[in-house]
Amino acid sequence: MHRVHSSHHEVCGGQRGHVCYGQSLSLWIVSMCRIRMTDREKTSKLKEIKETVSGAVEIMRQIRSPGVQESFGNIMDTAKIVKEIIEVLKTPEMVKNIENCRMISENMNEVTTKMQNTLKHLEETGAITEAKGLIKSAKNTMDSFSGSGQDLHEISSSINEMFKSIRSLADELRMTIVS
């Protein structure tokens, strides 16, 4: 029967200033805790341990299978490629290229916004409606050339009016884009 020690000093035989590796301390701690399990709890714990060990053995068996080993190889190859890509992305040239792409993207967003604003302004000023009318007028003028001999003076006047409308539209577009 084991004697229950009341202190670490008693377990180590009165030695001071040492590191205790002794088993007697472990026994002392266990005996002090007085852990008591019923047979049912012991059986349950043993069953849990057995299932855990069985699961670990199954995992180890599956890890050794050729399919899993091949997958590990593929993972390692992919990781090497990713590492190389990351290293390339860290080079000064790639950092500069990425920064340039970011700036291009920002500029494209600004251009898109300006184009949307210009289109909105053109719609608000009626320039698009005028352009539609101008196109319709030009089409009618062109169709009149194939007509039954209209007066050249009318054709000339229509063309002059068309050119004036085009100039006016171009001036409005310039003003809109500048502002």
**Residue 1 gets which letter from DSSP?**
-
Question: What is the residue whose two structure tokens read 């993207």?
Answer: 105
Using alpha carbons, select from 17, 31, 1, 32 the residue that is nearest to residue 9.
17
**How many Å apart are CA 26 and CA 39, to the nearest integer?**
23
Burial of 137 per CB tally in 10 Å (0-12, 13-18, 19+): middle
Two structure tokens written together for 95: 């950092």
Two structure tokens written together for 149: 């001999």
Q: What is the pLDDT of residues 34-45, one digit of tens each?
A: 456 677 777 888
Tens-binned pLDDT, residue by residue, of the chain (179 aa): 444 444 555 545 555 544 454 444 444 444 444 456 677 777 888 888 888 888 888 888 888 888 888 999 999 999 999 999 999 999 999 999 999 999 999 999 999 999 888 888 888 888 778 888 888 887 777 676 665 555 666 777 788 888 888 888 877 777 777 76
Judge whether 40 and 65 are in contact, CB under 8 Å: no
Judge whether 25 and 2 are in contact, CB under 8 Å: no
**How many Å apart are CA 47 and CA 163, to the nearest integer?**
98
> Angle CA(156)–CA(157)–CA(160) in degrees, nearest 5?
85
Element (H, E) at 113: helix 92-125
Element (H, E) at 134: helix 127-145
